[in-house]
Amino acid sequence: MVPVSIFKDERPSLEDRPVIGISGDVMESSTGPRHAIRDTYVQAIINAGGIPLIIPSTNDLATTYALYRMVDGMLFTGGVDIDPAIYGEAVDGTEVLDISAERDATELKLAAWALADDLPILGICRGQQLLNVAAGGTLYQDIPTQLPQSEVDHRGSTHTDDRGLLTHKVTLEPGCGLAGIFGATEIMVNSLHHQGVKQPGTGLKVVGVAPDGMAEALEGQQHRWLYSVQWHPEELFLKQTAANNLFKAFVEAAASQVYSRRNQPVAV
């Protein structure tokens, strides 16, 4: 037996690092449902100075709320499609097949709380679509079907099996918050989606578009720090300054919540 005395109780100082809630996916496997997120989300938050806390998709509202009370910012991640019934539509797209009722319900609650509490929020891909739907907006259910005239391959990175491949340009509105964060009004992005924002939700403004006019970035007009992007900066932060800046700005915004949030009541 190894003497216990050789193990040192070393506990690193956390200082005032903010906790970032990351919405998790739930998927079927041969051995049953699994909760998971891509490691790139975790590493992007750690690299930016935050502490990632994965919030699983469950039907247990009390558990979800208890985890939410621990966070200083919310990251809504990419993943499966959102049920069109949530924004009042029937299925009208050849690829709108992969939905998760548990994830929809969990993330809509998290979004409602975070929006009400003016928590720093970042949405990525499905996360942008989720925030838009939570704010009363609608989606293109399948871009190739509903916008066949588009010359942009919005699944260009998917088709090459390279999630980090930069496939098209996004043009940002001069003077918008994201342009300031990126330090540019044009940026090359990767693209792995077949759905997109159609009608922006209340309080959300389209500040970035693809060459075909598809909404690629949203900004919250009534919130202190709310941004979303249709591409996947978590796959780019190690090689693209703009992507790294986005996560740094998000975590910095969440850091200002560390004291105030933990000493104030949160909306139910």
Ordered per-residue pLDDT tens for the chain, 268 residues = 556 666 677 777 777 899 999 999 877 777 777 787 889 999 999 999 999 999 999 989 999 999 999 999 999 999 999 999 999 998 886 665 688 999 999 999 999 999 999 999 999 999 999 999 999 999 999 888 887 888 877 666 666 777 878 888 999 999 999 999 999 999 999 988 889 999 999 999 999 999 999 999 999 999 999 999 999 999 998 999 999 999 999 999 999 887 665 566 555 4
Asked if residue 13 is part of any domain, the answer here is no
Q: Kindly name the residue from 107, 216, 234, 235 that is annotated as catalytic.
A: 234
The beta strands (E) that lie in the chain are given as: 19-23, 25-27, 34-36, 51-55, 73-76, 121-124, 139-140, 168-172, 186-189, 196-197, 204-209, 215-220, 226-229
Asked whether residue 210 is domain-assigned, the answer is yes
Catalytic residue among 168, 216, 232, 235: 232
Q: Is residue 58, in this structure, part of any structural domain at all?
A: yes
Residue 10 lies in a domain: no
160: domain CATH number? 3.40.50.880
Residue 176 bears catalytic tag: no
Q: Which of 125, 176, 194, 219 is catalytic?
A: 125
Question: Is 216 one of the catalytic residues?
Answer: no
Domain assignment of residue 9, yes or no: no
State the total domains in the chain.
1
Decide if 81 is inside a domain: yes
In a domain, 2, yes or no: no
Concerning whether 125 is annotated as a catalytic residue, the answer is yes
219: CB partners within 8 A, 6+ apart: 176, 177, 178, 204, 205, 207, 226, 227
Domain of 120, in residue numbers = 19-262
Question: In this structure, is residue 12 part of a structural domain?
Answer: no
* Model pTM score: 0.90
